[in-house]
Amino acid sequence: MKSIKTREKSEILYLISICLPMIYLSLFLYLPTYLSSIYHLSIYHLSYLSIYLSIYLSSIYLYLYLSLYHLSYLSIYLSIMYHIYHRMYLSISIYLSIYLSSICHLSIMHHLSINHITLYSNYLSFFLSVSLSSVCLSCGIISKLFSMSYSKLIISLCSELSPPWMARGISSWVRYAFP
């Protein structure tokens, strides 16, 4: 009876000694595969996370520069309204406002070209549609402003801002200066 037990033990030990290298080999082959799959999955998820994060940050960046872009167009309109009396400063303020808006426009395009442009085609089309609509709106306002002659505009401003006796004198001078 004892010999059967020892023989069974020896057979089991023999089987284990035969199978042990195969177990080690399978562990050796499985473990790097498992670790590499975990590594590749983590790289994959990190790349997707970085893409989402860059989209989010660039959208914030884009909205900030879009607001600056609209503010520069507003400054063009306000500079025309404010400097209507000072004709020699009018062109300087318009050039300055156009320069500021072109800087904003170029910085947006530069930022979009640094990041993946294919991912930002929606943002680019949105930007182009908004900028074209703002250009059309500001051109309409400017053309409406300049469709009135300088004399009518100054007369209407003077009649609203000054007393009547001064407005009559200014309007006669303006009619003489700007026929």
Q: What is the 3-state secondary structure (H, E, C) of 29-53?
A: HHHHHHHHHHHHHHHHHHHHHHHHH
How far is it between the farthest Cα atoms of the chain? 136
Same domain, 23 and 97: yes
Concatenate the DSSP letters of all residues of 85-140 into one string.
Answer: S-HHHHHHHHHHHHHHHHHHHHHHHHHHHHS-TTTTHHHHHHHHHHHHHHHHHHHH
- Same structural domain for residues 72 and 141? yes
Does residue 177 share a domain with residue 118?
no
Q: Are residues 133 and 166 in the same domain?
A: no
d(CA 101, CA 94): 11
Site of tokens 């609509």? 133
Q: Are residues 105 and 125 in the same domain?
A: yes
The verdict on 141 and 152 lying in the same domain is no
Question: What tens-digit pLDDT sequence spans the chain (179 residues)?
Answer: 566 667 777 777 777 777 777 777 776 777 766 676 666 666 666 666 666 666 666 666 666 666 666 666 666 666 665 555 555 555 555 565 566 555 555 555 555 555 555 554 555 555 555 555 555 555 555 555 555 455 555 555 555 555 555 555 555 555 555 45
Is the pTM here over 0.75, yes or no?
no
For the chain, give percent helix, strand, coil, nearest 5.
90, 0, 10
- 139 and 152 in a single domain? The answer is no
Place of tokens 């062109």: 91
Number of domains observed in the structure of the chain: 2
Same-domain status, 90 and 140: yes
Same domain, 48 and 112: yes
CA neighbor of 108 nearest in space, from 50, 69, 54, 52: 69
Residues 161 and 117 grouped into a single domain: no
The reply to whether 78 and 45 lie within a common domain is yes
Domain range holding 6?
2-147
